[in-house]
Structure 1
């Protein structure tokens, strides 16, 4: 592991963890869940699985042949012989934090892997988003947020359905990206992956700095920003419709030029390069679009 805190990037199959937008990983297999060993590992791992956690050293040949990365699970971060064997595979290594481990202990396991000659190290945390941020800042290593155990659960299920669970899953994903996660590990269901990808697209576009180096990467970054922009514009239009119902005088007749100028001035503080002169016509178009939509809905 480098002694400096430059931004580390780890190639995990076709993913680049720690560079640009956060990644979403839905295929993490633990061979410890059913106590698999050796030949059983070859049967349970499909070719190209992103992450695999061994139950023991006998699983490592199958993982080396089939997986793109190997996990040092939170339950065995003190198993030094197995950690040494994992590091020797030459695969990217994801180091989970043991629930009781301090930041220093967690980073110590990562340093041990690097000392064995493998600097393709990624950290992974499942509970403490603040600790995840601290680990990123202290080490420079990429950090994954493991939400696979709780992304679609809810302590207060919605009556008659799982809407509350869906909402909670989206909030967890968004919170992890906002905290600086370089990727999300989620359950294997299509719904869970969709929630995580939406959070990466919307929250990541707003909060994660990007420096694309190719035209294709730049266009993908613009697409992510446009997706977030469309979502925000739709939400603004909904709120504008509510405002029209609450105003004594609604519609175009109820426009407040002074408030609109103040709005543009506040936005210019967040977007000084654009400035008020460029933002004013943009916001005028946004406001008018919302008013037209409100009028159309009123006539339905």
Structure 2
């Protein structure tokens, strides 16, 4: 799995923004397109050129270059983009093999640019979004040792699966809505907290990592409380009178196996508080007046 927080690249509210100059809008110059992307937020702006003529603008005003799937096989343009010295994001052509995809990254390195990130967007599409090949994405990461993003088009539905599969980030369409970006960021936060180990090097970074873990904890605790309430409704004897001390001890022992640093002695009072909170919630709901 990856390390550190995964990123979301896309529209408003994302960690970084990207635009494609291939999608030229009538009456809008490339410079205006880049300026509009820059105005969406404070994050980096990545730009996919339409042709080599766009490279001077990218060198001057962008923070990174996107080698789009449509021109991944244009080695001349790839090498010229790499020579800008900016980070390069290489999207896989749907028909390209893993070896061909990694070869493009090699072209960038040959031009003295080792700041290459791969992006798997897949060849098939679902309504509203792309379907990345997550197995191929993992293989690319393992073979290259480079960060790999999952391109999701305009649909964040696969965001959680992509992060669980080891994606270092998610690439959404530049036109993705703020709601789509928020959904992707939530998947990054919750699933990433469970699957990505972080080694922060500052107090601020450590607190941000803790915030991500706490977010995942909140979701899991809420789910546990709901399931505990279901058990209370099904048990012959519910509430505090129906507590099973032996089961709770086994639960703590099993948790200690997964959290040996905390151990049973520290986990026991934590789980006791969690269990009691669920029981209190179940009792409150049972005694609440019904409409």
Report the TM-score range of the alignment, normalised by the length of the smaller protein. Answer: 0.7 to 0.9
1:32 has 2:22 as partner: yes
Give yes or no for contact 1:92–1:121 (8 Å, CA) kept in 2: yes
1:132 has 2:117 as partner: no
CA positional deviation for 1:214 = 1.1
Matched pairs, number = 264
Is the alpha carbon distance of 1:36 and 1:270 closer, same or farther for their aligned partners in structure 2, counting shifts above 3 Å? farther
Partner of 1:15 in structure 2? none
CA positional deviation for 1:52 = 1.2
Partner of 2:162 in structure 1? 176
CA distance in 1: counterparts of 2:150 and 2:273, whole angstroms? 39
CA positional deviation for 1:134 = 1.1
1:231 has 2:219 as partner: yes
Partner of 2:185 in structure 1? 197
> Structure 1 length normalisation: TM-score?
0.83
Give yes or no for contact 1:93–1:120 (8 Å, CA) kept in 2: yes
Superposed, 1:84-123 pairs within 5 Å as 84-123=79-118
Q: Which runs of 5+ in 1 are unaligned?
A: 1-6, 8-17, 152-168
Report the RMSD for the aligned CA atoms in angstroms.
1.9
Give yes or no for contact 2:72–2:104 (8 Å, CA) kept in 1: yes
Give yes or no for contact 2:88–2:115 (8 Å, CA) kept in 1: yes
3-state DSSP of counterpart to 1:184: strand
1:20 has 2:4 as partner: yes
Give yes or no for contact 2:3–2:196 (8 Å, CA) kept in 1: no
Give yes or no for contact 1:97–1:125 (8 Å, CA) kept in 2: yes
Runs (4+) of structure 1 exceeding 3 A deviation are: 34-37
> Structure 2 length normalisation: TM-score?
0.86
Partner of 2:74 in structure 1? 79
1:62 has 2:67 as partner: no
1:263 has 2:251 as partner: yes
CA distance in 1: counterparts of 2:232 and 2:22, whole angstroms? 58
CA distance in 1: counterparts of 2:260 and 2:161, whole angstroms? 27
Is the alpha carbon distance of 1:36 and 1:132 closer, same or farther for their aligned partners in structure 2, counting shifts above 3 Å? farther
Give yes or no for contact 2:3–2:197 (8 Å, CA) kept in 1: no
CA positional deviation for 1:106 = 0.6
Partner of 1:221 in structure 2? 209
Give yes or no for contact 2:75–2:104 (8 Å, CA) kept in 1: no
Query: How big is each residue's C-alpha offset from its partner over 1:146-174, in whole Å with a ceiling of 9 and x where there is no partner?
Result: 112432xxxxxxxxxxxxxxxxx2xx111
Q: Which runs of 5+ in 2 are unaligned?
A: 11-16, 39-43, 122-131
1:45 has 2:34 as partner: yes
CA positional deviation for 1:19 = 5.8
CA positional deviation for 1:253 = 1.0
2:171 to 185, 204, 207: 185
